[in-house]
Amino acid sequence: MCKVPRAVPPPVLSTFHTLGMTAVNANAQPVIARGSSLLVVAILAAVAAVTAPRASGDTFLPQSKPPARRVAAVRHAGLSAEERIALTCLQGLVAREQPSIVTVRSPEVEEFWLEWHVAKGHIDGFDTVADWTTLVDVHRDRIKGVVVPDAALFRGDVLALNVAACEDMLVASPALAERLNLPVTIDLRGRFETYAEGMEWLWTTYKDRLNPRLCDFRHPALLPFCTFDYGYQWRALMFWIAGPKEEHLPGVDRVAEQRLMERILGEMPPLGVCVGFPGMGPGEGLGEPPGVELLSRFGKSLVCTNHTGNHSFWSSARVERLTQPKQPPAPALERTKIYIALVLSDGDNQILWPAYFRKHFEHPAFGTFPLAFGMGPAIRELQPGMAQWYYEHATPTTEFIADVSGAGYMAPQHFATACPDAEQVWAGYLDQTRRLMEPLGMRSVRTVSGDDAVVARFAAALTECHSIFADMGRYSGREGIGNLIYSLPDGMPVFRAVTTWRHGKEGFLREIREQVGDVRPAFVNGFVHCWTFDMDTLAKIYADRDPDMVFVTPTQLAALYREAGSPR
């Protein structure tokens, strides 16, 4: 995932809330025709859904039940694509009662984390299973047959996965079904001319069985990598809206797909979550900004999991609370200095924690200078054991802040604009954010964008924060430190990003010098684009700092700013 800010195009279709096709005006208030009693009832039902309890309990993302004490680990190597897909269906099915299967794409990743889960007592151990089909025999009484996908239809396999999840079946070819001694119960070959037709049938047939608060942007190319076990487990609606590069593929009708998914998302209650990711490569899928906007308009947010699997297992650990490292006091304030907090981006992306950020922690320079990590606070529900490792291996100058825009990735300027009661949805989302941040000791949040009204909304709801770290890079249109760092009327400091990645690895300190000028003291949100600035580069930035530059944590930056009397 690479959050490259750019202008987000207007929606392809007019924004309507599909419970009665209620038009929404510029102030996000429903425009209701006089006498529309049925429409009023529908709107009241939608408002009630905001605070309705979740079937999975009082969590943002559903968490698995505690795992088996010993776990079966199955390596991908040597398995065909269809075997991996069938295995992952079985993994998700079994996890509904007790997670006991982990698929291993890379032993140095998954087995590292399994060993950590053993060390922390989450499980007693794991056994490598050479023949995955023996697990079919172990759990045969749970499997109600096989769904055969339409291989000739682009995303026919994604349609089949939804059916299999709702029917407690595996997705497989007739040949694999015969080999597994499982009956072919549903055959989708030749059933639908277009993907939109198949999705319409799927939603009509199974919407009462699908999870109303969870969906999954799932590109079919990722299925053989065992990435969908969590979606299967929780019966999330798995879908993929084609992009321009996919227009020529069989069954694609981009306009019909967009229109249908807007209707479906409108029928699902607000404050749901979408896992996965809306883009693959250029022209594949909606892409990041339009996909996040689509979810945001219907009061939903994204938790990025597109390239990872095993969340049906990782989420089974229980870590109730994690404590931020005890930081040293902020350095003595000197009014001739520039204070800089380095904060790595994209930590809301759950695919980065199994391996990518681990390399940062294992780098020789880690801990030699203050470095903060944005972390999606939903990690304590989705990958709690991993969050535990990072907290326990952090140094006193490591800090974790909520990334990005709170509970999930959403676009604040579009959030809840298609919902009948936008204010109630906003309040619910910020309450979710507060409840996720608190047990992780997070005291700042990065918003992906938004004007001062948006930032003030976050500050008013998240009163335990020491500050707001706004923007994914300096793309707010603001220039100069006096316009980037300021206090809200209630006194909450706002540190808008001073740096970008537009000048590559060499531009970081130059941008700070340009934006700060001769203002002293200065307080800098040193936004670090994690895909551009690796640990070698960050160590060099620290070594090349000017004599008047002091690197601090976000907590220390906020304390120094307040001590200085909130200078502009």
Contact 373, 347 (CB under 8 A): yes
The residue among 404, 452, 426, 407 whose CA lies nearest residue 289 is: 404
- Rounded to 5°, angle at Cα 430 from 424 and 436: 135
Do residues 80 and 208 both lie within one domain?
Answer: yes
Do residues 283 and 344 both lie within one domain?
Answer: no
Do residues 197 and 77 both lie within one domain?
Answer: yes
**Within a domain: 1:** no
**Within a domain: 13:** no
299, 314, 329 - which closes a domain: 314
Do residues 271 and 215 both lie within one domain?
Answer: yes
274, 298, 314 - which closes a domain: 314
Amino acid at position 276, single letter: G
Distance, in Å, from the CA atom of 12 to the CA atom of 258, rounded to the nearest integer, reads 8
**Within a domain: 25:** no
**Within a domain: 363:** yes
Do residues 275 and 409 both lie within one domain?
Answer: no
Q: At a CB cut-off of 8 Å and minimum separation 6, what does 15 contact?
A: 23, 24, 297, 417, 418
Q: What pLDDT is attached to residue 566?
A: 58
CATH number of 478's domain: 3.20.20.490
The residue among 149, 146, 129, 150 whose CA lies nearest residue 138 is: 129
Do residues 342 and 308 both lie within one domain?
Answer: no
Q: How many CB atoms lie within 10 A of CB 8?
A: 16
Query: Where in 134-213 does DSSP place strands (E)?
Result: 146-148, 170-171, 184-187
- What is the chain's pLDDT, residue by residue, as a tens digit (568 residues)? 443 333 333 222 222 222 222 233 333 332 223 233 333 333 344 444 554 555 556 899 999 999 999 999 999 999 999 999 999 999 999 999 999 999 999 999 999 999 999 999 999 999 999 999 999 999 999 999 999 999 999 999 999 999 999 999 999 999 999 999 999 999 999 999 999 999 999 999 999 999 999 999 999 999 999 999 999 999 999 999 999 999 999 999 999 999 999 999 999 999 999 999 999 999 999 999 999 999 999 999 999 999 999 999 999 999 999 999 999 999 999 999 999 999 999 999 999 999 999 999 999 999 999 999 999 999 999 999 999 999 999 999 999 999 999 999 999 999 999 999 999 999 999 999 999 999 999 999 999 988 999 999 999 999 999 999 999 999 989 999 999 999 999 999 999 999 999 999 999 999 999 999 999 999 999 999 999 999 999 999 999 999 999 999 999 999 999 999 955 4
User: Has this prediction a pTM greater than 0.85?
Assistant: yes
Do residues 502 and 546 both lie within one domain?
Answer: yes
Do residues 424 and 474 both lie within one domain?
Answer: yes
Do residues 97 and 141 both lie within one domain?
Answer: yes
Tokens of 8: 């987000």
**Within a domain: 278:** yes
Q: What pLDDT is attached to residue 56?
A: 56
Q: What is the four-CA torsion angle of 18, 22, 23, 27, rounded to 10 degrees?
A: -110
Distance, in Å, from the CA atom of 143 to the CA atom of 183, rounded to the nearest integer, reads 10
Q: At a CB cut-off of 8 Å and minimum separation 6, what does 457 contact?
A: 412, 426, 430
Do residues 195 and 266 both lie within one domain?
Answer: yes
Burial 459-496 (b: 16+ CB within 10 A, else e): bebbeebbbbbbbbbbbbebeebeebbbbbeeebbbbb
Contact 153, 189 (CB under 8 A): no
266, 299, 314 - which closes a domain: 314
Q: What pLDDT is attached to residue 342?
A: 98
Between strands 273-276 and 301-304, the pairing is: parallel
Do residues 360 and 264 both lie within one domain?
Answer: no
Do residues 414 and 448 both lie within one domain?
Answer: yes
Tell me, letter by letter, the H, E, C secondary structure of 237-291.
EEECCCCHHHCCCCCCCHHHHHHHHHHHHHHCCCCCEEEECCECCCCCECCHHHH
Distance, in Å, from the CA atom of 47 to the CA atom of 11, rounded to the nearest integer, reads 23
**Within a domain: 19:** no
Q: What pLDDT is attached to residue 58?
A: 81
Q: Is the dihedral of CA 437, 442, 448, 451 positive or negative?
A: positive
Tokens of 391: 């907290």
**Within a domain: 37:** no
Amino acid at position 295, single letter: L
Q: How many domains does the chain have?
A: 2
**Within a domain: 246:** yes
> Residue 121 sits in which domain range?
70-314
